Amino acid sequence: MMPDAAALASKLGAGDRQSLARAITLVESSRPADRAAAFELLASLGVPAEPALRLAVTGAPGAGKSTLIDALGACWLALGRRVAVLAVDPTSPRSAGSVLGDKTRMVRLGQSEHAFIRPSPSAGAAGGTHPRTGEAVSLCEAAGFDRVIVETVGVGQIESEVADLVDLLLLVVLPNAGDDVQAAKRGVLDVCDLLVVSRADSQVAEVERTRGTYADAFARLNGRGPGVHAVSALRGDGVEALAREIESRWATLKASERLESRRRDQLRMRFRRALGARFEAWLNDDAALRRECRRLEGLVERGERLPQAAAEELVAGLRYGSN
C-alpha cells in the first residue's frame, strides 16, 4: 500500500476527522496517481463491526433539507451517536464551480466534535450526488460514524438514484409548492421510505392537507406508504418523532436479511456504473477509438447512420478486435 494511503487508513480507524476529509478528497480526485492511492485505501477498509445507518435526504431546492438534517443530527448527537453529513451541491456547467453553502445551515452539527460535514460538488453527475459519494459513505463508516446522511443536490424525480447508495431515503416537500400533483408519479416517490412536509410551523391547514395527500397517494401506488411527517426543523416540532421512526425502520432492516441483500445489490449497481464510466473514459483516452467515434458521429450527424446503429457498429468493432 502507498504510504499516504496506509497512514490515512490508520487514522481513519481512529476516527480522525481531518484524515477523513483528506481521504474523501483523495477518492474524489480524478488524477491517475490519486486514483491508484484511493483504490488501495478503499481496499484496506475492513468490514465494520456494526454497520452505520445510511440515510439520504432529498427534495426540491429550498425545501429545508439542510435545516432538517441539522435538527435530526442534533437528536442523534444527544443520544451519543456520531453523525457524518455528505452535502452535495450542483456544479456549474460553465465555470465547473459550486457554492457549497449547505454547511452554513448546519450550525449545531458544525460545532460538535462528534459530527463531520463534507460539502462536495456534484461534478456534473446525474442523480443528485457526486460520482464518488458511495466511496465517501464507506469512508465515513470506516471512521466510526454510525449515522451517515447524504444530502442530494435537490433537482427532482431523477434523484431516485441515491437510493442505490443508502439504506433509507427521506423526501422533503413544501406545502402547496406544486408537489401534490407529483405524488401520483413514479420516481423518487416510488422508492422513498419516509416523507417530510417541511416548515410545519406555518400554514397548518395546508401542511395537514399536503400530508394527507401524500399519504393517500403512497397507499394507492404501493399498497403501503412511507411514514409521512409534518416537521418544523426550526422550532423542533416533529423532529424527535421522525428520528424515532427512522431508528425503528433501521432496527427492523438490521434484524432481517434485507440489509445485507440490499447492500449487495448496491455494490453490484456501483460496479455497473463504474464500468460504464471507465468505458467512457477509455473511449476518450484512446486515440484510435476517438477517431472512430468522431467518424461515426459524423455519419450520424449527416443522417447516414441511426444513432443506435452507429453505437452497435462501434461495439461490434471492439468485440471483433478483442478476438
**What percent of the chain lies above the pLDDT cut of 70?**
83
Residue 260 placed within a domain: no
Whole-angstrom distance, CA of residue 126 vs CA of residue 139? 22
Residue 17 placed within a domain: yes
Asked whether residue 121 falls in the same domain as residue 35, the answer is no
Pick from 30, 39, 67: nearest CA to 280: 30
Domain boundary among 255, 287, 307: 255
Asked whether residue 142 falls in the same domain as residue 232, the answer is yes
Asked whether residue 104 falls in the same domain as residue 36, the answer is no
pLDDT band at 101 (very low <50, low <70, confident <90, very high): low
Asked whether residue 6 falls in the same domain as residue 60, the answer is no
pLDDT tens for 236-284 read: 889 999 999 999 999 999 998 899 999 999 889 888 888 888 888 888 8
Q: What is the model's pLDDT at position 204?
A: 76
Asked whether residue 129 falls in the same domain as residue 30, the answer is no
Asked whether residue 109 falls in the same domain as residue 232, the answer is yes
Instruction: State which residues form the domain around 304.
Output: 267-322
Residue 104 placed within a domain: yes
Residue 32 placed within a domain: yes
In the chain, how many domains are there? Answer: 3
Asked whether residue 78 falls in the same domain as residue 124, the answer is yes
Asked whether residue 19 falls in the same domain as residue 166, the answer is no
Residue 261 placed within a domain: no
Residue 249, helix vs strand vs coil: helix
Please say if the pLDDT value at position 290 is more than 80. Answer: yes
Provide Rg for the chain, Cα atoms.
Answer: 22
Residue 170 placed within a domain: yes
Alpha carbon separation from 139 to 100, 175, 184, 244, 251 (Å, rounded): 20, 36, 37, 26, 22
Asked whether residue 206 falls in the same domain as residue 57, the answer is yes
pTM reported for the whole predicted model:
0.83
Asked whether residue 30 falls in the same domain as residue 73, the answer is no
Residue 262 placed within a domain: no
CATH assignment of the domain containing 76: 3.40.50.300
Contact 254, 50 (CB under 8 A): no
Domain boundary among 255, 277, 308: 255
Q: Once rounded to an integer, what is the mean pLDDT over residues 14-26? A: 93
CATH assignment of the domain containing 33: 1.20.5
Contact 12, 20 (CB under 8 A): yes
Residue 227 placed within a domain: yes
Residue 53: its H or E element = strand 53-59
pLDDT tens for 65-80 read: 999 999 999 999 999 9
Domain boundary among 224, 255, 286: 255
Asked whether residue 273 falls in the same domain as residue 192, the answer is no
Each as own residue / partner, the long-range contacts of residues 97-104 (CB below 8 Å, 24 or more positions apart, any chain) are 97/121, 98/122, 102/65, 102/66, 102/151
Which spans in the chain are helix H? Answer: 3-13, 17-28, 32-44, 65-78, 107-110, 133-142, 188-191, 204-222, 239-255, 258-285, 287-301, 307-322
Asked whether residue 77 falls in the same domain as residue 157, the answer is yes
